[in-house]
Chain A
């Protein structure tokens, strides 16, 4: 019996290469704790899908704003009897108004020309004197916040008749988009907290089911870092699975929804592919982050209380 002569040598062999073992332990935990793991994945999945849906909605709305947009250009229509020549002097007057950054004449001929190709019969029928459209001026404003006042000033000019409310639509859409932004911030916050809570509980459950092993590990001199690793692996993996599932789920959901919407209202939806990279990255970072954080919370509490001592005696 000469086990002591090996002492120095075997000491040197201790290092962190047990990492593979610890990672395997993490996966074992997930498997042994299937129901809780599935619940965690479900909650985190729902959280990410909702977040993603809000993001996609937001992106589409701001795209729509841009389309409607050139949003600070307002078309001011002149009265029917106002000729092109008179229009030029009206344009000068408008240019003098505060907050008007620029004007562009948009003649009735230009207006009717826009029907060409799309509505050729109308275009042909309404040439020359038959053109019922008014002359107009495209006004660019410097600051949209002063939109209402500026419009009021413009409408004071006698020759003006009406104005297109593209700016109004843009304003409404912008308001909706920021409302969505605000709401999603809170939804995301609440859901993240819930996910964090569920994941940390799942991992706490694993920890309690393995308290006996942990106490043995601690009694033979395992460091807290070492005890932590399998649980962190568990949290990260739950986060990763949730992220991957929700990326696929969101893609499916988005494509189905957009097909549905586009069959009723024609509009240019942003293709999922164009944002897939960013969304995937965000989801994976968020999922793995929440999973890891949840694990760290529960381990921190456990090791501070029960796990620091060797259980029972």
Chain B
């Protein structure tokens, strides 16, 4: 559950990225965030992850007021979220398996848990057979699936994806969206920022359009 109460964000440079946003995203929803370049979509996600703090208003995630949580609680907040980047953010000196295992190690998972969980998740995204490959040996769509596997491996309650299909071809994009949809069907909240109208139209879900830092449209 994500709640925004009259949230605004002004960057130190003076840019008003968000102006009084209020909304609520319930657990298990599938939400597209759309809008022109510079509209404030990424800023919206950064506020959820608490990579940025709002200049005004209140953000509550799973009952926790983000303005009240202590710095050392931030990592635990982030474990609730799986994040997918447009540019995949994979470590090329590690193979696919280790890229996914890395996310579990980073939160202190046991070797045993890693050994059980990683193959399972790789199977899930259809990449079990490429576990020993390096990311650079994979196609864009495959790399994004690795990054999705990494986002999923710690069992987050929500997936946050900023233009996950921005760097891959349309056919692969469709596959990624299908995967996100399947993940959503299991109860995980999914928030996807995208430019691609065709994708938005091909999948059911709530669509929030941001324009100049304000919500222009919010519909199903």
Interface of A toward B, CB cutoff 8 Å: 1-4, 6-7, 10-11, 13-18, 20-21, 212-213, 215-224, 226, 309-310, 313
Contact = CB atoms under 8 A, between A and B. Distances in A.
Given A216-B106, A226-B106, A313 B42 contact: yes
Contacts of A16: 108
Contacts of A223: 72, 75
B19 interface: no
Contact of A11 (B121, B152, B155): B155
Interface of B: 42, 46, 49, 51, 72, 75-79, 81-83, 85, 89, 91, 102-103, 105-113, 117, 120-121, 124, 150, 152, 154-155, 162, 182-183, 186-188
A10 B113 contact: yes
**Closest 3 pairs (CB-CB, A-B):** A221-B79, A13-B113, A221-B78
Contacts of A13: 109-110, 112-113
Given A4-B186, A216-B102, A224-B72, A18 B110 contact: yes
A57 B80 CA distance: 61
Given A216-B89, A224-B75, 4 more contacts: A3-B155, A16-B108, A220-B79, A310-B83
Nearest to A16: B108
B82 to A, nearest CB: 8
A313 B79 CA distance: 18
Contacts of B110: 13-15, 17-18
B126 to A, nearest CB: 11
Contacts, number: 100
Contacts of B111: 17, 20-21
Tell me the interface secondary structure of chain A in the complex. Answer: helix
B51 A21 contact: no
B46 A217 contact: no
Contacts of A18: 105, 108-110
Given A3-B155, A14-B113, A309-B51, A221 B186 contact: no
B38 to A, nearest CB: 14
Nearest to A223: B75
Given A10-B117, A220-B103, A226 B155 contact: no
Given A220-B150, A221-B76, A3 B83 contact: no
Contact of A212 (B91, B120, B183): B91
Nearest to A22: B105
B91 A213 contact: yes
Contacts of A309: 51
Contact of B108 (A1, A15, A224): A15
A70 to B, nearest CB: 63
B108 A226 contact: yes
B107 A222 contact: yes
A313 B112 CA distance: 32
Given A6-B155, A14-B107, A222 B162 contact: no
A14 to B, nearest CB: 5
A21 B101 CA distance: 11
29 contacts: A1-B186, A3-B120, A3-B124, A6-B117, A10-B109, A10-B117, A11-B155, A13-B113, A14-B108, A14-B113, A15-B110, A17-B111, A18-B110, A20-B111, A212-B89, A213-B102, A215-B89, A216-B106, A218-B75, A219-B78, A220-B107, A220-B150, A221-B76, A221-B106, A221-B154, A222-B107, A223-B72, A226-B108, A309-B51
Contacts of B82: 220
Nearest to A13: B113
